[in-house]
Homo-oligomer: A and B are copies of this chain.
Amino acid sequence: MKPSAIRELLKVANRPGMVSFAGGLPAAELFPIAEIEEVTKQVLREHGRRALQYGETEGLAALRDWVAGKFSTATVKLRRENILITTGAQQGLDLLGRVLLDAGDKVVVESPTYLAALGSWRPNGVEFLAAPTDQDGMRLETLEPLLARKPVFVYAQPNFQNPSGTTLSAERRPKLVEMIRAHDIALVEDNPYGELWFEEEPLPSLFELDARTGRGANGGLDSNVVYLGTFSKILAPAFRVGWTIAEEALIDKMALAKQAADLQSSTFNQYIALEMARRGLDISKLRTVYRERRDAMLGALEKHFPAGVTWTRPKGGLFLWVTLPERINTMELLPRAVENNVTFVPGEDFHAEHNGKNTMRLNFSNAGVDDIYAGIERLGSVFKTALAQ
């Protein structure tokens, strides 16, 4: 393992005057601090002894029921047994690796893909098969030959993907589900950003398109799709409360692996997240502010980035993705950007095959509009200098 670029970057990003597009942080000024204080007090007064005690490895029953209710549809009736509460969605990725992957196994990932998924599964000795993407997500014609190589699962972030910001199109979703069904391969649908849509409500999830209940073991869930969600981007990351939805047999295996990993996620934080969710999270405010910041960034990119540089136009989430001419290595640009008080994450680490050296990820959720303009202008002049050489 080598230290990831993001980790090292976060350490310089606190310097005064620095504009950071590097992290993946939500806007801290939007955290509902007063409401969390009120809810915490309520939780301690109503459930103090239970909220501070050890609980079941699978998670707080009432929270599992809440997740089951939220993700049930006309065709999918979820039960508590289909839900595992995890220490952030990241732990869901990790536990899936532990229970499903052995050395030599293959996993299909998007190219680019979420780098901490690669980091989680790489130590298992897995072979990654990179599926190319375009502005509509995974390119399905390139996926077919990868599925023929019998991967254990396909990993996808269909909504406002980290790092690219792109969304899997409505047309491709049912086709992708059909393909994984036809090959009887699992698909891990990681959806941390889906609720942060700026324009239109999210497309149906792959889980929703695939899952049925009553046809699985004991009349339960039948689904090739494993769904990961989290409170990190819609409430606050610090609680470390996420969830995995899957067939009961897989949830049971993951719970055993979780017991070895950390016994359980914080009971206290599960109570708080549940009560906040019951009262209703104000996601519309997040959507409004993040949309403004995305628009500011897109406007600044148009104005300050030189010809030959292209970028994605995300319809939600936290990130957009920049591609420079092939000859530019963004890792080499980074020190110059830091000198100019602006940071980003070079794209290479988001690629299982270490290509994409001319790409980078920009985060727009954690900087105010003025900082976005200033930071993009600085980055634009770094690019211009590099392109002139």
Contact = CB atoms under 8 A, between A and B. Distances in A.
B240 A265 contact: yes
B266 A266 contact: yes
A260 B119 contact: yes
A114 to B, nearest CB: 12
A376 B240 CA distance: 40
A116 B1 contact: no
A50 interface: yes
A91 interface: yes
Nearest to A28: B49
A368 to B, nearest CB: 14
A261 interface: yes
Interface stretch (A35-43, A210-218, A303-311): A35-43
Number of copies of this kind of chain in the complex: 2
Nearest to A26: B53
A299 interface: no
Given A90-B261, A259-B119, A262-B94, A31 B54 contact: no
Contacts of A4: 256, 259
A341 interface: no
A51 interface: yes
A28 B52 contact: yes
Nearest to A232: B54
A29 interface: yes
Contacts of A24: 54
Interface string A253-277: 1001101111111111100000000
B52 A44 contact: no
A41 B37 contact: yes
A25 interface: yes
A149 B260 CA distance: 26
Contacts of A48: 31, 33, 36
Contacts of A119: 256, 259-260
A172 to B, nearest CB: 29
Given A37-B44, A41-B37, A44-B40, A260 B120 contact: yes
Nearest to A272: B268
A88 interface: yes
A336 interface: no
B53 A88 contact: no
Contacts of A116: 259-260, 263
Nearest to A23: B54
Contact of A238 (B1, B31, B239, B266): B266
B88 A263 contact: yes
A29, A120, A268: which has the most chain B beta carbons within 10 Å?
A268
Contacts of A3: 252, 256
Interface of A: 1, 3-4, 7, 10, 23-26, 28-29, 31, 33, 36-37, 40-41, 44-45, 48-57, 86-88, 90-91, 94, 98, 116, 119-120, 123, 232, 236-240, 252-253, 256-257, 259-269
The 10 A-B residue pairs whose C-beta atoms are closest, nearest first, are A28-B49, A238-B267, A52-B236, A33-B48, A120-B260, A87-B262, A238-B268, A52-B238, A31-B52, A91-B262
12 contacts: A33-B52, A41-B41, A51-B238, A52-B237, A52-B239, A54-B232, A55-B238, A88-B262, A90-B260, A94-B260, A119-B260, A238-B267
Given A86-B262, A90-B260, 4 more contacts: A31-B52, A33-B49, A36-B52, A51-B238
